[in-house]
Chain A
């Protein structure tokens, strides 16, 4: 089966349990089981190739420019892990079916489980480290969901958060490490990276990359000092603990260390970091495990300890160590998953996991007793069980390992670790199953149904079979070990034997088992010492660190973002100024290359008006109406400036925008207070003046500098000038840029404009639906209204002028391609013509004669522009490619027809719609503020009877 399908099956299958949920729990578990089985069978179809020593690959390019490709590979190591994940997955699914109660949402559980399974299979089959990172993060996320599956339990939620925080941080570090690694090698493909041991180890970036990657591995595999999250993750349902936290996910870090072993191991740095972390974890985990009373906590710490053991073996950097690690991964997965499931059975049947409340269960739960005892004895390292074999190898390896130039250190610690390991195994057996039968169990214990004890039983069978006949698996173990070693070192072991003769490892093993029994015998006094001894509680430390980080973040964020807009604005301005100053200090300024142009009297007069208006605006801004007039002067002078400096299009746009903006602000001012009161202190105003002057002087200096210098690099404007007529068929280069060269930008821009207008419309609707409406209706105008709001002269004039303005707009639109003008300006001009009707004749009168809704006009504009762009697809050209031709219809002059003009029509419509929708929304607010509008256009209409009492001078806003 294709590797893609194997990885994809769990993900696709994750959709099924949720659907099957209502079909019953067995159907739900059944479909999950089938999906996993299919993936496992698919994996097994690749077994012959893997056994032959081939590496099965499959790949498609995903983001080749980033080096991120969906490349999968399957070698011995990948096969080994994938088989573990899927095989144990099958057992867990069966077990979980019986473990979960009727109150648990089984579909949700199996969906998460399959997501996790897919992510794990993805990790072990990735041939691209970036892809591997994606799957890596997916396992963190799916395990978060699984640990927190019992959402009602606070421990579950806390444990899930802690696991996600720790593994997520590690994942973050690992992303950095992987990126460095990819940079060193020049490829993110594992198969390439694994070939470049020398380049990587000689690189000065080797150590940072190593540390970052190991951070990811250590957090995931719960190595000291990140071991604390794993026991808290035991709040998860037991199938999750057995699956994720003993057999698979916590092995992901181990897997990655094994995967990277050929290129990262063998250096002193690797040896010291990995071996030390592994040793400490092994001993610490074993000691803590002994004193845990919760069965699952005991097993969790024992898992931590065994992961430390495997890490230590990988750390030694020898081929034998790697082989022992592989073997122990297999053995640990079998006995520990069986133990977890047994613990789950005990919990399920007795309703407690507290060892102190148990004992004597061998009479009541004989099947569970046999299974758990065999698995625990294997873990303790008793001969003829598989744990003994790999533990002997570990002790053998430890006896040769010299750390920190101290020969006895590693063997001694290894024996201590094994000793406590044996002790907690014996405690587990004797305190749970042996002893007298009690009569105070929380529930009456009995063996579970077959479906629940069969999965661990199968694993226990494996434990015994491997323990008795290791030659059955030795070839496979060697195959996987060779895949780990990758030809870096020769593997000169040929048999896995139970009896090696009287080696140091045997004596160490005997010492460990004997010591373990002694420790158990003196357990009660030891426990008293342990309980009395002060020791750091990892959870408290973790929570203190989190609380510290939260406090820091809160301090920083609340310091900057305290809800005061003025503060953000000031911080922003000062930051930009500081950045600009830094740029100024570090950059170089060349000599002036352009000479100043002389200014005439008119230009100086315009400048003086602009400066005077701006200063006036600043000093008189408290009078709001006056400030509107002043800002209009500024806008007018800017437009004049555009005329002077050869920008007719800009001048026309600025002028028309100015008109609609001022109308808009007037409409708004209608509701706002007319004056701004003095509120800020003198000190504060001084501060603002300083910021403003700093910004102003900087802007002036910067403009002054670049105005006197030519551009550093040649501008692309020459291209536009040269191709405007040839390529775009228009002589107005600005318009051709807008509708042709940069048509896509313009397309986006009219959409933004349309969205802004719709936003204003939506806000108006919300305001008018809410409590504001009543306030508006009751509002008294703060100034006397004009008696003649819709004077006859104005009404007549605007109506007469309307066709003229429309004609001008049409003319500006048509000439746009070759002369100053175009859709934007024409749209604004036409909008002004319509607005004038509103102003002169009143809202109701005009609205009654307005046939098309403005939203529709915006939509039509965007649609016309978009369809024009799409039209070029039909002739096989990219989006928005323009074309033009010259047409002559007698008796007219020859004229040009360009698709760009159609696009410009879209721009025109969108601008008209957006401007009108905005202004109309504002006027709707105004309209509801007063008494109902008159339906007559003119307040005083000579054609109406002036004495008609039914038509008094009604107030009506725009």
Chain B
């Protein structure tokens, strides 16, 4: 189980990083969303994995760690706000300049970076 979660975090991080390094806004936003998932799961996993023991007080003996859950809950909602703002900025830039590159046009002497 632990292996599944750890590898899932790794796969999402790698995918997110790769997409964040793309040149157009949309894949970058996708990559940031993936990274958000990865980070949220990572934070959540810092409470260690517990099956069948939700932090709802009953007569049960053990509960999972509630603190990371509370942190991640707000993180999920905030990440929506962040995604919305970034999408809006990307959209504004595209509509305004008809260009959805994330990089500034590269100066002439450094043509390899922006135009690649």
Contact = CB atoms under 8 A, between A and B. Distances in A.
Interface string A563-581: 1111101100100000000
A676 interface: yes
A820 B54 contact: yes
B69 A647 contact: yes
A654 interface: yes
Interface residues of B, number: 91
Nearest to B74: A749
Contacts of B14: 692-693, 695-697, 699
Contact of A603 (B4, B16, B19): B4
A65 interface: no
Contacts of B91: 668, 671-672, 922, 925
Contacts of A715: 47, 65, 67
Nearest to A684: B116
B67 A564 contact: no
B66 A772 contact: no
Given A650-B44, A660-B80, A716-B67, A700 B9 contact: yes
B113 A611 contact: no
Interface string B79-96: 111111101111110111
Given A569-B21, A634-B37, A696-B10, A733 B63 contact: yes
Interface stretch (A216-224, A227-235, A637-645, A883-891): A637-645
A599 B17 contact: no
Contact of B96 (A669, A767, A914): A767
Interface string A642-667: 10111111100110010011001100
B8 A611 contact: yes
A645 B27 CA distance: 30
B92 A569 contact: no
A33 interface: no
A527 to B, nearest CB: 51
B49 A731 contact: no
A547 interface: no
Contact of A733 (B6, B8, B57): B57
A359 to B, nearest CB: 59
Nearest to B104: A563
A850 interface: no
A810 interface: no
B11 A614 contact: yes
B70 A824 contact: no
Contacts of A699: 9-10, 13-14, 38, 42
B51 A644 contact: yes
Contacts of B6: 700-701, 703-704, 707
B81 A738 contact: no
A671 B67 CA distance: 40
A551 interface: no
A725 B12 contact: no
Interface in B85-111: 85, 87-92, 94-96, 100, 102-104, 106-107, 110
Contacts of B87: 664-665, 668, 922
Contacts of B77: 653, 657, 749, 753, 824, 828, 911
Contacts of B8: 607, 610-611, 641
Nearest to B82: A756
B30 A627 contact: yes
A717 interface: yes
Q: Interface size bucket, A side?
A: 35 or more
Given A562-B104, A653-B77, A704-B3, A618 B15 contact: yes
Contact of A680 (B23, B25, B53): B23
A564 B74 contact: no
B100 A672 contact: yes
A738 B49 CA distance: 21
A624 B26 contact: yes
Q: Tell me which of B7, B38, B76, B77 has the highest count of chain A C-beta atoms within 10 A of its own C-beta.
A: B77
B51 A597 contact: yes
B57 to A, nearest CB: 4
Nearest to A669: B26
A679 B116 contact: yes
B66 A717 contact: yes
A634 B85 contact: no
Q: Tell me which of B21, B46, B63 has the highest count of chain A C-beta atoms within 10 A of its own C-beta.
A: B21
Interface in B32-82: 33-34, 37-38, 40-42, 44-58, 63-67, 69-70, 72-74, 76-82
A570 to B, nearest CB: 6
Contacts of B20: 569, 573
A479 B5 CA distance: 78
Contacts of B113: 562, 564, 566-567
Given A664-B87, A671-B91, A693-B14, A717 B47 contact: yes
A701 B10 CA distance: 8
Nearest to A756: B81
Contacts of B65: 715, 717
B73 A649 contact: yes
A604 interface: yes
A596 B1 contact: yes
Contact of B49 (A621, A645, A649): A645
Contact of A604 (B4, B26, B54, B70): B4
Contacts of B17: 573, 688, 691-692, 695-696
Given A634-B34, A733-B63, A760 B85 contact: yes
A700 B69 contact: no
Contacts of A437: none
A918 B102 CA distance: 22
A631 B34 contact: yes
A830 to B, nearest CB: 14
B102 A566 contact: yes
A649 B1 CA distance: 21
Given A676-B27, A732-B55, A707 B5 contact: yes
B11 A650 contact: no
Contacts of A644: 51
A815 B38 CA distance: 29
Interface string A670-709: 0111001101110010001101110111111101101110
A676 B94 CA distance: 13
A482 B110 CA distance: 67
A915 interface: yes
A956 interface: no
A742 B58 CA distance: 22
A145 interface: no
A653 B44 CA distance: 14
Contact of B19 (A563, A597, A617): A617
A692 B96 contact: no
A720 B81 contact: no
A737 interface: yes
Contacts of A717: 47, 65-67
Contacts of B82: 756
22 contacts: A562-B113, A564-B102, A597-B49, A599-B1, A607-B4, A607-B7, A614-B11, A645-B44, A645-B64, A654-B76, A657-B76, A660-B80, A664-B80, A668-B91, A692-B17, A692-B21, A695-B17, A703-B6, A721-B55, A732-B57, A749-B77, A756-B81
Q: Lowest 7 CB-CB distances: which A-B pairs, in order?
A: A700-B10, A696-B14, A563-B104, A756-B81, A692-B18, A704-B6, A731-B57
Given A610-B8, A614-B11, A668-B91, 17 more contacts: A566-B103, A617-B15, A617-B34, A618-B18, A646-B63, A646-B64, A647-B44, A668-B88, A671-B95, A696-B10, A704-B2, A707-B49, A715-B65, A717-B66, A733-B57, A763-B88, A820-B54
Interface of A: 562-567, 569-570, 573, 594, 596-599, 603-604, 607, 610-611, 614-615, 617-618, 621, 624, 627, 631, 634-635, 638, 641-642, 644-650, 653-654, 657, 660-661, 664-665, 668-669, 671-673, 676-677, 679-681, 684, 688-689, 691-693, 695-701, 703-704, 706-708, 710-711, 715-717, 720-721, 724-725, 731-734, 737-738, 742, 745-746, 749, 752-753, 756-757, 759-760, 763-764, 766-767, 770-772, 775-776, 818-820, 824, 828, 911, 914-915, 918, 921-922, 925
